[in-house]
Amino acid sequence: MKQIENNPLKEKSRALAVIQDDEGFNWNDFLQDEDHIGSALVAEILIEKTYRERCIVGYRMEEMEKEYNEARNYGRYDKKRECYVNNKGEQLVHPSIIVYNDVLAIIPLSGEYYSNFAKDKDYLKKLDKIIKDVTTAILRQRDEERMKKNVEIWVMN
């Protein structure tokens, strides 16, 4: 059983998780920075994920690894972007550097998936794009760090 403290008078960063034997766990020990306020909410979302969603993420990771290995075997390395690309030219990341929980957090629960799929015929394409964005976030982060470093070097000179 999980309970989240819901008191508008308290700070938003405070959350209390209660396990079955009624021992409390204070998330505030881990959530020191303002940047980590959403971590408790992500932890709650991850707890709600079922076996189905975890299997979907596992399957996606296997597919990504197959696609990555195929690109590596065929030598589809893009020197400019410094990564392997698939036959469509999209960046590929080895699954070992993808954060599993980030992908799991964006996989919708069954009810949400089917209701959105019924409403929007392009929902599956949009979901695939979101998943692709999350999996390649590490590459974008690397590129941003390199750009900042290059700008600093350029400004120094």
Q: Which residue has the higher pLDDT, 138 or 46?
A: 138
Which pLDDT score, from 0 to 100, does residue 40 have?
A: 59
Cα–Cα distance, 38 to 130 (Å, whole number):
19
Q: What is the mean pLDDT of residues 70-99?
A: 90
pLDDT in tens, 19-36: 444 344 454 555 555 545
List beta partners, residue 85: 91
- Measured CA distances, 39 to 73, 86, 132 (Å): 38, 33, 22
How far is the C-alpha of 40 from the C-alpha of 48, rounded, in Å?
Answer: 13
Percentage, residues of the chain above pLDDT 70: 72
DSSP 51-67: HHHHHHHHHHHHHHHHH
**Residue 36: its pLDDT value, please?**
52
CA distance 150 to 95: 28
Instruction: Look over the chain and give the mean of its residue pLDDT values, rounded to a whole number.
Output: 77
Q: What is the pLDDT of residue 1?
A: 37
pTM beyond 0.85: the answer is: no
Rounded-to-integer distance, Cα 110 and Cα 62, Å: 21
Q: Please state the domain extents for the chain.
A: 1-48, 50-156
* CB-CB contact of 117 with 126 (8 Å): no
Query: Can you give the pLDDT at residue 42?
Result: 67
* Alpha helix ranges (H) inside the chain: 39-48, 51-73, 100-106, 110-119, 123-135, 137-156
Query: Does residue 62 register a pLDDT over 60?
Result: yes
The tokens of 61 are what? 């990771």
Residue 76 predicted with pLDDT over 90? yes
